[in-house]
Amino acid sequence: MPDFQAILEHIYQDAVIASDKGTVASYIPELAHIDKNNFGIHLRTSDGNDYGVGNYNKPFSIQSISKVLALSKAIALIGEGTWKRIDVEPSGHPFNQLALLEIENGIPRNPLINSGAIVIADILISNLKNPKEDFLNYVRDLTGDETINFNKDVAHSEKVTGFKNYATANLLKSFNNLNNPVEDVLDFYFHQCAIEMTCQQLTKAFFFLANKGICMLNKTRLTKSQAKRINALMLTCGFYDEAGEFAFEVGLPGKSGVGGGIVALLPDHFVITTWAPGLNKKGNSKLGMLTLEQFTSKTKLSIF
Ligand code: GLN
């Protein structure tokens, strides 16, 4: 068994002195003031051991990482019906690209780009009684932590500047791939992205995907086959037009968010979360990607 704490500390020390820490996302104004020197890593192994370094207990905006949890909830609710409205192919384009959606008649390439996540939000609104509250409770329940909450300022900040997401939702609506009003779907979507969690909480929340669908509290959230499918989607689509690079460098299913978080996992072995708010040109955490590459190289633990 590798000495995980020593490996994390070593990687952390190397990464904090990096001269180029990337650029903090500023297109959501409320995220622009986050200090890019924040940096945390948290690891949980399947046998229940926890390891953390840096700011692994500081909450941050999970943004697109929420798309995996929303997808999991949608699949738990409507199963295979999900795939009537969304494809499962990598897009090879940025997360908010519109062109492909028009060419492909309103069927998003996958649920982890914005158009696909907006359709998932529509599914959740149609199937949950109190959508925002129920989804938040789902995330709290997965984590076993009642303190998790939305950052309403971040949700509002995206609401007043998210013109491209409005364009995407309207395009989906024009192709009859949105059943609820655009305003309602985006209000839900902006809130799910504005949930704040720590690295440690995210590691716990994603545990069921590394554990055949069974969460930290020993409840079955998905079947083994459904968990496998979500992991396959993270591997092929979790990093948009950098999914190939992540698979090549890191070799794990994972998901990033523009808040600077990345969650990655090796089924039956571990979940690891990094947070470093500076992003590269594709909108993925610069130090997070470097850290995870170092982690799988040093431990020799990846799916390949
Ligand atoms: N809320 C963000 C958006 O819709 C999420 C993007 C991301 O994290 N990649 O633009």
* Full pLDDT tens readout for the chain, 304 residues: 889 999 999 999 999 888 899 999 999 999 999 999 999 999 999 999 999 999 999 999 999 999 999 999 999 999 999 999 999 999 999 999 999 999 999 999 999 999 999 999 999 999 999 999 999 999 999 999 999 999 999 999 999 999 999 999 999 999 999 999 999 999 999 999 999 999 999 999 999 999 999 999 999 999 999 999 999 999 999 999 999 999 999 999 999 999 999 999 999 999 999 999 999 999 999 999 999 999 999 999 999 9
Residue 304 counted as domain residue: no
Return the bridge partners of 60, or none. Answer: 197
Q: Does residue 115 lie in a domain region? A: yes
pLDDT of residue 18: 83
- Residue 224 DSSP label: H
Q: Which of 249, 265, 255, 253 is CA-nearest to residue 285?
A: 255
Instruction: Collect all residues with Cβ–Cβ distance below 8 Å to 283 and sequence separation of at least 6.
Output: 25, 94, 95, 240, 256, 258
- CB atoms near residue 174 (< 10 Å): 11
Asked if residues 220 and 26 have their Cβ atoms less than 8 Å apart, the reply is: no
Structure tokens at 154: 């971040």
What local confidence, expressed as pLDDT, does residue 19 receive? 80
Which residue is catalytic, options 12, 51, 56, 240?
240
Alpha-helix residue ranges (DSSP H) falling in 128-249: 131-143, 152-161, 163-174, 182-193, 199-205, 207-210, 224-237, 243-249
Indicate which residue's Cα is closest to atom 2 of ligand 1.
Answer: 63
CATH number at residue 114: 3.40.710.10
Decide if 78 is inside a domain: yes
Index of the ligand 1 atom closest to the CA of residue 27: 10
**Residue 165, in any domain of the structure:** yes
pLDDT at position 23 = 95
232 alpha carbon – ligand 1 mean position (Å): 21
DSSP class per residue in 6-45: HHHHHHHHHHHT-S---EE--SSGGGTTS-TT--EEEEEE
Could you tell which of 30, 95, 192 is best to mutate to test the pocket of ligand 1, judged by most ligand atoms within 8 Å of the CB? 95
Residues 6+ positions from 24 with CB-CB distance below 8 Å: 31, 32, 34, 36, 260, 277, 278, 279
Q: Which residue puts its alpha carbon closest to atom 6 of ligand 1?
A: 64
Comparing CA positions, the residue from 17, 59, 50, 304 lying closest to residue 195 is 59
CB 247 within 8 A of CB 284: no
- Which residue range forms the structural domain that includes residue 19? 4-299
The type of residue at 119 is V
- Does residue 171 form part of some domain? yes
Residues with CB under 6 A from ligand 1: 63-64, 95-96, 114, 158, 165, 193, 257-258, 283
Residue 149 covered by a domain: yes
Does residue 180 lie in a domain region? yes
Residues 6 or more apart whose Cβ sits within 8 Å of residue 160: none
β partners of residue 52? 42
Determine the straight-line distance between the first and last CA of the chain, rounded to whole angstroms: 18
Count of the separate structural domains present in the chain: 1
Determine how many CB atoms are found less than 10 A away from the CB of residue 71.
26
